Chains A and B, each alone.
Chain A
Amino acid sequence: MPKCRFSDVKISGIVTCIPTLEKCIDDELELFGGKVKQLERLKKTIGLHRRRVVDEQTTAADLCEQAARYLIEQSAVEPSQIDTIICVTQTPDYSQPCNAAVLHGRLGLSKYCAALDVNLGCSGYVYGLWMAHTMIASGGCERVLLLAGDTISRLVNARDRAVAPLFGDGGSATLVERSQSSAATFFSLQTDGKGFDNLIVPAGGARQPCTKDTAVAVEDETGNIRSLENLFMDGAEIFNFSITEEPKSVIELLEYAEIDADAVDHFVFHQANRYILSNIAKRLKLDIAKVPMQTVERYGNQSSASIPTAICGELATALADRSSARLLLSGFGVGLSWASALVEVSDLAVFELIDYTA
């Protein structure tokens, strides 16, 4: 996908809903075989600390629904005014129908409303924004409700050190609308499908349906335990991918937009972990104050919800203080897939982080 540019489209609000159950790596010493030093190194080097996870009854759709209800209320938009609902998730309620249709019903949206899911993870929020912009620019929609959320904590094996302490859960809602007065926005979207098996849940789809064998947890050569129905991640490959592709795509988008990195107010990267975030920032020579990275230490890696959480959790005050701000958003992960956007948001927009209430 080449890069693209839009005008007359704005983001008028983002709300992220976070589960209240908190886990902390300090309580999981036994996962590291009681090795205090290894745990401390992970905290110090990778920046692993706390994360918020759902219980067994709560899904990404529940988190997104609560975020959407709050956003609709705050934005003074009628549910009937929403022309399309997009759900970005890899943890839908059902293999079919899609979350967007289920939530369309739960939110009471109009029958004259398109609804579809996007099966992407960490790059998914930016992809969803791009689709919303495309739909509005085509003239077909005035308002798009973008819901992006995941409950990856329910896919990891608690005894897999490579993923269990990393992932948290979250659901977000973003309202994208037509607006004559808004600044241009820019997108770039990329894929490397050859790396599809570096971050994967092997069983549960049509290629390898769930059987009693796929549910059996097995220990790998590094001592981590998981089944074929759990999430697998090759951490080294994902790290290499992040430090090579991410900085390149950010530079290319800035060049395309003819905007200097200094003219960007905040660089909001997918909150993978502090080590990856600081490495990307270092390679791009960014002022670290412009790069939110507290989100992942508080809430965990929230997949498609991490960028909206970082905006609502770390930037809401800063964004309210100035009439408009230029943000570079960039997500990267499962696919492998990565996408960046350059957007401008105004102080009139809603940015809020809320706790999930069952």
Chain B
Amino acid sequence: MIIIDHIAKNFGDIQAVRDVSLEARDGAITTLLGANGSGKTTTLRTVAGLLKPSTGTVKVDGIAVADDPLAAQRRLGIFPDQFGLYTRLTTREHLAYYGELHGLSGAALDGAITDVAGLLHMQDILDRRTEGFSQGQRMKVALARAIVHRPQNVVLDEPTRGLDVMSVRLLRRILTDLREAGHCVLLSSHVMAEVEILSDHVVMMVDGVVCAAGTAAELVAKSGQPNLEEAFVHLTETHERTAA
């Protein structure tokens, strides 16, 4: 479980996040929904321990990230907005590297690699160097890398960006499987259809604050709009008018 409690983050004069609170439960997919620049990535980076919030706290399974980032990171699987693969390493070597950083070794590591390769149907690329991989193959490696150590909490920053339909469908299935297995899944997105299909809980963000939260159906009903996209536009504009 990930609990974000009134965090704010500024870079000099730039206020990237003003006030964000949310609770991402185990066995559920929680989505940060917002436009570009709304503070989604900064929020997720504070969860990952890459940034320290100026105020507020982030807890992963009860561990305060700011106090013990390494302990919190051991409970997390991070799928960043950029895949950042090492082109001279094979898929297996990527998975082994990240698995070892999480303390896996020997038979446990080999077993974890075999399992995740089976889960993502990537046996055919397991021993190939990642140079020249398609975007879908790169996504698979990055996702496998994030979950090879079977983390309780998985954080994904705009995971479907740049993927084709088949890759998106595969990703959806994996995330749904993770939810069914009782994992906490926290992701960010601005693709309405994806959010609507996947999310158990949607947190709408605008200008670094949470403007609305609930299930997709609840948000649509609350806004009085016909669908989630219209609801998003209505709720964010209402918030901006109120803030002004």
* A and B: bona fide binding partners: no
Q: Contact residues of A with B, CB < 8 Å?
A: none
